[in-house]
Chain A
Amino acid sequence: MAILDRPGYRAGMVLLVAALVLAPVWLGRFIFLLNTIGIFAIGACGLTLLTGLTGQISLGHAAFMALGAYGSAALARAGLPVPLAMVGATALTCAGGMVVGLPSLRIKGLYLAIATLAFQFLTEYALIHATGGVGALSVPPLGVGRWVVRTEVQFYYLLLCVWLLAGAALANLARSRVGLVWMAIRDRDYAAQVLGIPLLHYKALAFGLAAAYAGLAGSLWAHYQRLITTEQFTVGASIDYVAMVVIGGLTSIWGAHLGAAFVVALSQGLKIATPALTAVVPAFAKVVIPLREVLFGTVLIALLIWEPGGLAMLLRKLKRKVDLWPFAY
């Protein structure tokens, strides 16, 4: 718990966990919001690891999520118990991520971003063809034997455990030897190599783990939605992921969670507000999706210009203010 270095923050953390545990009480029927946020936060953790810590830009994160979702669905439909299918799909995506990451030795920066973008489109195409042109697949619910998750609240508690574990794993990974190596690669990979770091090993590891996070998120998403289509994993979703980690704060371990909460709350909030607003302004229903895109773009640009550290940096600044209060220095 050395990350939480002050009693106040420890109390805050306890409060946060308590609020999350008691969420079904105070959120009521809106608990699906937290379910969605949790799943995307797990996926975004992977992108924080890959882009924030290791400095490899990926515009194909949703493709890994799709691999996890379709893999898990296929394994579960083949008769494997669902938890095993999820583990299998995550491992599969991890291996896939390593393979996709291999070219990152030769191509980097912009070119890598473009290559992952191409990977995203090819995966979409392959999935549509593999599922017979529609891309839709029904998925069995989460559960073991006769015990099956039926309600949103049951799913929420399962998800919460996975979410906390995934977040804690990332936080600790970032502080470990491996995390430090990744940061060295991010800052200058040639220099890191000169210092004796095997680039292939660590870049492949970063891609593999990032893909595993996305795959886990994908398989959770599949068993949560019960019906998956390729439309859920388009390049737009990939860019949403990038938006999440940037809005949340790229190099912060809290970034993925804050960003996922922000992005999901914004788009779901628009969706929830649509009926009420349509009653007043009938044209609103037609522009809600374009409006979401415009809002997203504007928030992203504003943040990148004025606060490149994202929400996590804003939070840290607030923390500093509180620490130093009532003296400014």
Chain B
Amino acid sequence: MIEFAASGLLNGVAVGSIYALIALGFALLYKSTRILNLAHGELVLFGGYLAIALAQVLPFPLAVTVTLLAAAALGFAVERAIMRPLFGQPLLSVVIVTLALGYIVRGAMVGIWGGSTRNFPPVLPAGVVRVAGIPLQAVGVYSAATAAVLLGAFWLFFRYTLVGISMRAAANEQLTASTLGVSLRRVFAYAWAFAATAGAVGGILLGLWLGVNFALAHVGLKALAAVILGGLDSIPGAIVGGLAIGVVETVVGGYIDAHVIYGFKDITPFVVILLVLLVRPYGLFGTEHIERL
């Protein structure tokens, strides 16, 4: 029992760190543009599919680089072509537009590369690693380590680069930031590019671990649960939420899956979403919204 919990905890943290990375894209986009991107899962899918197709013809590091650049370009394109004309439109339009975007990306991916599961060439060492006596899949450990390094890199980026600082400024207080010379358009474009890249990285990492098929799009929903738990507009919240969802899914979901009813693991994120929304709609670290007439 103890061993089950401990291995679940470690595995959960491993997968959770990838969720956290994906959720970071979600949260940052919401924080700086007030758009909840329901196509985020499809951006994950985009990264996975493109990287796997490129890895067949290019050396792996090059394939990853090209994929990330393509994801950033997709983000820029989406912002320019779809989101800018819709600026100031009601919430529903924006939600539906992101859903429609998800349709297009998923349709294109499945149409071009088919729906069956594909695997990356073995770039990470396979086998089992023991951490404190608990067996873990080596691929999982390496993916988690990469995710952790990237989270650190993103943190440095927001802390020290000019683009990062202007994005934080805009996220904090849009109007003030724009009077002080932050170009909101540019920030929005960077936010989209960033979200798409974070999604693509998540897609590649998860793809290395689990293989790529269109079910990968559901990971976007797990990241959604993570940001709801952490608070939609909180970046530390996204990271904590991602880790928490990973652990809850693996430990609680895995336990119920094995002992109570089958298949519960897949819907754990939604149970979490419903519970959080009912108890604390703004999440753990999100700003509480106060409405006035």
The answer, yes or no, to whether A144 is at the interface (CB within 8 Å) is no
The answer for the CA separation of A267 and B274 in the assembled complex, in Å, is 33
Q: How far is it, in angstroms, between the C-alpha of A297 and the C-alpha of B100 when the chains are bound? A: 4
Contact B291–A190 (Cβ < 8 Å): yes
> What 1/0 flags go to B92-125 for Cβ under 8 Å of A?
1101110111111011101100100000000000
Q: Is the CB of B107 within 8 A of A293?
A: yes
- Which residues of chain B from 182 to 215 have any CB-CB distance to chain A below 8 Å in the complex? none
Not counting A115-B274, A122-B270, A190-B291, a sample of 7 additional A-B residue pairs whose C-beta atoms are within 8 angstroms of each other reads: A57-B91, A111-B277, A113-B95, A114-B224, A114-B277, A122-B267, A300-B100
- Of B97, B100, B271, B273, the most chain A CB neighbours within 10 A belong to B100
Q: How many interface residues does B have (CB within 8 Å)?
A: 40
Q: Tell yes or no: B281 within 8 A of A by CB.
A: yes
A51 interface residue per 8 A CB criterion: yes
Q: Which of A81-89, A102-110, A209-217, A223-231 contacts B (4 or more CB under 8 A)?
A: A102-110
Complex: chain B residue closest to A189, CB-CB: B291
Residues in chain B near residue A286, CB distance under 8 A: 111, 114
Interface residue ranges, B against A (CB under 8 Å):
36, 82, 85-86, 89, 91-93, 95-97, 99-104, 106-108, 110-111, 114, 221, 224, 228, 232, 261, 263, 266-267, 270-271, 273-274, 277-278, 281, 291, 293
Contact (Cβ within 8 A) A305 B111: no
Q: Which of B93, B101, B293 contacts A297 (CB 8 A)?
A: B101
Query: Is the CB–CB distance between B106 and A110 below 8 Å?
Result: no
Instruction: Give every chain B residue within 8 A of A128 (Cβ-Cβ).
Output: 263
Q: Which B residue's beta carbon lies closest to that of A112? A: B277
Contact A107 B277 (CB under 8 A): yes
Partner of B82, one of A111, A287, A301: A301
Q: 12 A-B Cβ contacts within 8 A?
A: A57-B92, A107-B281, A110-B95, A114-B277, A115-B277, A117-B270, A289-B110, A290-B106, A294-B107, A300-B96, A304-B96, A308-B89
Within 8 A of B (CB), among A91-137: 103, 106-107, 109-111, 113-115, 117-119, 121-122, 125, 128-129
When A111-B281, A118-B270 are in contact, do A308 and B107 touch as well, CB less than 8 Å?
A: no
A7 to B86 CA separation, bound complex (whole angstroms): 38
B91 partner residues in chain A, CB cutoff 8 A: 57, 109-110
Residue from A115, A119, A301 within 8 A of B101 (CB atoms): A301
Q: A57-B95, A122-B271, A301-B100 are in contact. Are A191 and B293 (CB under 8 A)?
A: yes
- Could you say which residues of chain A place their CB within 8 Å of the CB of B274? 115, 118-119, 122
Q: Which of B82, B108, B261 contacts A129 (CB 8 A)?
A: B261
Q: Is the CB of A305 within 8 A of B85?
A: yes
Nearest CB in chain B to that of A106: its residue:
B281
Q: Which residues of B contact A246 (CB under 8 A)?
A: 92-93, 96
Which chain A residue shows the least CB distance to B39? A297
